[in-house]
Structure 1
Amino acid sequence: MSTHVPLTVRADLAGGIAQAAPWGIALDGLLASALWADHKAATHAAGQLTDRLIDTPDPADLDLPLTRCTTDAGGWHWAATCAHPQDQASPLPEVRHWTGRTDHRAMEQLATTLPATVSDRQGRYRARRMPLMVTTCRAVSWRAIGDVEAITTLLQTVTAIGKKRSQGEGHVLAWTVTPDPTLEAWDAAHLHPDGTLGRPTPAGCLAGHPPVPDGGRGTAGLRPPYMHPARQQLLHLPALLDG
């Protein structure tokens, strides 16, 4: 008997989340990263090395505690959406900045020889000041169809999400995974709570359903690992967070 049910996932945040894409972080990507971290740790503990994903032409799919959506003939995806902000402070992202500067004293201790001058204005050791887009909100939420207990267990190992996690961005205060028997299965696998498209979706998944507001069509990853070339397809994109 399947233990997969429609559910919602909520991450309470300390101060928002830094994101690179114009839509939120995929729940299946988070779960895959947690499983992959466990796999790498076990492999290294056995004295072996893991293959780099970029060197793998067709990466294997990890066994996530999610249902597979197979309505499209061109491929399948996990029944889970991308993150949607809750209690957002502003409809537009806040622009923060991060800086980086080479520690010249450390370079002197580590290198056998150094040039007469290491420029802070050009080259690989130049100083940097880069913008960082942060969605300021109290929480983000996902919808999905899956195993509540298994998802909860995996997410407890995730303490921060998004970009610049080591600098304090995206710190998660608490995870909540709640079954939702009132949620239609197709909605749980594809839509945000506001009815907009909630994940990169093949055209076949949308056939036979009323039109759904989305972010247009473009090339994106269908399932984890999202950035791998083998996962790239022409898809309907999620509704833009800054739209």
Structure 2
Amino acid sequence: MKALKITAFLRCGFSASFDWSVSIDSVIAYQSQLEKLGWERFTEHQSTGQLKPVDDLPIAKEEFNGDWWYQVSRPFFDCKMIHTQHLHRRFNIQESEQHVNKIGKIETTKGAYKNARLAIQLFVTDRVVWYVNGDKDRIKHLLQMVTHIGGKRGSGHGAVSRWEIEDHDNLEDCRFRRIVPTEFAQQHSIDGLTLEWAIRPPYTLQENKRLCVVVENEVRT
């Protein structure tokens, strides 16, 4: 394991709810689980809620008071602007009728097929940087298959033109410039926003959530 600087060069920025929410350990965990399980089992695990903490990534772990998380920083980037864009979701009734012989009325004002106008937040930037204490070769292998980061990837947001992984000379960037539980933050004098957030992937898993401190974004190139 060694301290690394990982840079995603982007075509047009990325979509996310918050500037800290694109977690590099989550990106790597997704690819690691996909490679390990295969597409069918991986999709099944996601759709049926068979999720559990991913504890075997090629990244060093921070262990604290019987808990643990990966030594990865939050994302750092120079945000040129934040742009709100709207996506429109419409159920294609004509196409569905071609595949179903008999179909009743499809309700598009409520339920699973509801039409919607969705507001998404775009962070306009040309690159995102993370600091990771990990296995350079293994991480490079997993990231070379990642084409997009952030949310709404199916709409083309967060397209990655290339990845760059370099050696880094400061392990503290990996350990302390990230989202950490409040007790750890107090012990190491880490300041930032306090809120409930997950400390390891999957970040949607309730058991991974703690009261945390989120350090601020900084321009790092």
Q: TM-score, normalised by structure 1?
A: 0.79
- The count of residues paired between Structure 1 and Structure 2 equals 217
CA distance in 2, matches of 1:188, 1:205: 14
Q: Is the aligned partner of 1:214 residue 2:205?
A: no
Looking at structure 2, the residues matched to 49 and 37 of structure 1 have their Cα atoms a distance apart, in angstroms, of 9
Aligned to 2:31: 34
Distance 1:43-1:127 versus aligned 2 partners, 3 A rule: closer
Determine the structure 2 residue equivalent to 1:194. Answer: none
State the AA in 1 paired with 2:70.
W
Cα distance change on mapping 1:125 and 1:152 into 2, 3 Å: same
SS at match of 2:126: strand
Which residue of the partner structure matches residue 102 of structure 1? 91
TM-aligned CA deviation for residue 130 of structure 1: 0.8
Is residue 7–residue 148 contact of structure 1 (8 Å, CA) maintained in 2? yes
CA distance in 2, matches of 1:29, 1:178: 20
Tell me, which stretches of 5 or more residues in structure 1 are unaligned? 192-198
**What letter matches 1:165 in structure 2?**
R
1:49 CA drift (Å) = 8.8
State the alpha-carbon separation in 1 of the partners of residues 73 and 2 from structure 2.
14
Question: Quick check: 1:221–1:233 contact (8 Å CA) kept in 2?
Answer: yes
- Cα distance in 2 for partners of 1:215, 1:28 equals 21
**Percent identity over the alignment?**
21
Residue 106 of structure 1: SS of its match in structure 2? helix
Cα deviations by residue, 1:37-72 (Å, 9 ceiling, x for unpaired): 11221775xxx996457245xx253421111111x2
Match of residue 203 from structure 2: 226
Matching of residues 159-198 of structure 1 within 5 Å? 159-181=147-169, 183=170, 185-191=171-177
**Aligned pair 1:126/2:114, yes or no?**
yes
Q: What is the RMSD computed on CA atoms of the aligned residues? A: 2.5
Q: Which consecutive unaligned segments of at least 5 residues does structure 2 have?
A: none
Instruction: Verify the 8 A CA contact 1:24 1:84 in the aligned structure 2.
Output: no
Q: Which amino acid aligns with 1:219?
A: E
| Distance apart, 1:234 and its partner CA | 1.8
Distance 1:163 1:138 in 2: 16
Q: Hey, which of these two has a bigger chunk of helix by percent?
A: 2
Does residue 154 (structure 1) correspond to residue 151 (structure 2)? The answer is no
Query: SS of the residue aligned with 1:84?
Result: coil
Equivalent AA in structure 2 for residue 106 of structure 1? E
Cα deviation, residue 225, structure 1 = 1.2
Name the SS for the 1:76 alignment partner. Answer: strand
Per the normalisation by structure 2, the TM-score is 0.86
SS in 2 for 1:142: strand
Q: What is the deviation of 1:20? A: 2.3
Which of the two has higher C-alpha Rg?
Answer: 1
Separation in 2 of the partners of 1:204 and 1:230? 17
The alignment partner of 1:213 has SS state of coil
Aligned counterpart, 1:69: 62
Q: Does 1:89 align with 2:77?
A: no
Structure 1 residue 200: deviation in Å?
Answer: 2.2
2:12 maps to: 15
Task: Give the 3-state SS of the residue equivalent to 2:49 in structure 1.
Answer: helix
Q: 1:122 to 1:73 in 2, by over 3 A?
A: closer
